[in-house]
Amino acid sequence: MNLNFLDFEQPIAELEAKIEELRYVGDDAEINISEEIQKLQEKSRALTQAIFSKLTPWQISQLARHPQRPYTLDYVERIFTDFEELHGDRHFADDASIVGGLARLDGHPVMVIGHQKGRDTKEKLRRNFGMPRPEGYRKALRLMELAERFRLPVVTFIDTPGAYPGIDAEERGQSEAIARNLQVMSELRVPVVCTVIGEGGSGGALAIGVGDRVFMLQYSTYSVISPEGCASILWKSADKAQEAAEALGITADRLLELGLIDGVIEEPLGGAHRDVETMAQRIRRRLVTELETLRAVPVDQLLESRYRRLMGYGRYQVKE
């Protein structure tokens, strides 16, 4: 089994393996098998298309957490120039599960903030699997306020399983840190554009996710609770995660339908990790366009429409 492929991608993995084999043979054999390879590649493409055209929410949530999925810094280096990372919350520590700093987008200075997961075991631990503690959120807050003072738009990338559920995090006020960010972001006097690039894990995601525009990559997820968590609470069994994923409506398409996000950024065939460069350019184009629009809006008007948008969240009936 090829670990670079998820369960449901195994047929693709098998085809790809066959192609690799043929290539290997082709190198030292006289017979021309390039035609055969080409045929198989087409087949693989068609198969991928077929599989990816009907992904279940649960499969999408696996893609969102794919070990090779690009993380914030993978995009930062491809989308921005002059990135200068800034560290620390000035109170307690520098939380590596949130990164942020000054950068240029299409020449214009901006503030970039995002959750950051680790690639190898050591980095995973250092980044705490992308689960911030209060100091992470307070660093983000500090950077956002810095951006506001210097009239720099804020661009955030969301990719976290959730805020860290740890003793120390609670001791230092996880709730307060998240709540404060929500409040400050709601009236930050610069454009804020948020993009969910992987996992949008509940309050831990929302804490850098209040803005004028919220986008999601096609195979990212955004949810009030992880499918596993929801299943173990409501179904009393983590095995029901697939059903929970379905019920929670965590996918980009569903959330767009429900009017909870502003747009879906299409991923390359097979997911963002299959072609990071293309993915980065698509995000870049979207950010450039949106910021151009938002920059032109007078600040008071920007804040008013952000406020109206926040007040519009929720579905209920009014009985007279």
Partner 1 sequence: MSWFEKLMPSRIRTEGGNKRNVPEGLWTKCDACGSILYRAELERNLDVCPKCNHHMRIGARRRLDIFLDPEPREEIGAEVEPIDILKFKDSKKYKDRLAQAHKATGETDALVVVQGELEGMPLVACAFEFRFMGGSMGSVVGERFVRAVNRCLEGNLPLVCFSASGGARMQEALFSLMQMAKTSAVLARLRRAGLPYVSVLTDPTMGGVSASLAMLGDILIAEPGALIGFAGPRVIEQTVREKLPEGFQRSEFLLEHGAIDMIVDRRELRTKVARLLALLTHRPPRQPAAPPPAEEGDTAGQEAGQAD
Q: Which positions lie near partner 1, rule CB under 8 A?
A: 163-167, 169-176, 178-180, 182-184, 186-187, 202-203, 206-207, 209-210, 222-225, 229-230, 233-236, 243-244, 247-250, 255, 258, 260, 307, 310-311, 313-320
**Shortest reach from residue 154's CB to partner 1, in Å:** 15
Cα-Cα-Cα-Cα dihedral sign, residues 290, 296, 299, 302 = negative
Output 55 or 182, the one with its CB closest to partner 1.
Answer: 182
Residue 127, both tokens: 């980044």
User: d(Cα 249, Cα 225) in Å, to the nearest integer?
Assistant: 11
User: d(Cα 72, Cα 80) in Å, to the nearest integer?
Assistant: 11
Contact (Cβ atoms closer than 8 angstroms) between residue 167 and residue 95: no
CA dihedral 108, 114, 118, 119 (to 10 degrees): -50
**Shortest reach from residue 177's CB to partner 1, in Å:** 8
Contact (Cβ atoms closer than 8 angstroms) between residue 149 and residue 140: no
Output 14 or 148, the one with its CB closest to partner 1.
Answer: 148
Output 86 or 256, the one with its CB closest to partner 1.
Answer: 256
Output 31 or 318, the one with its CB closest to partner 1.
Answer: 318
**Shortest reach from residue 85's CB to partner 1, in Å:** 27
**Shortest reach from residue 34's CB to partner 1, in Å:** 49
CA dist 24 to 29, 63, 197, Å?
9, 29, 36
**Shortest reach from residue 53's CB to partner 1, in Å:** 24
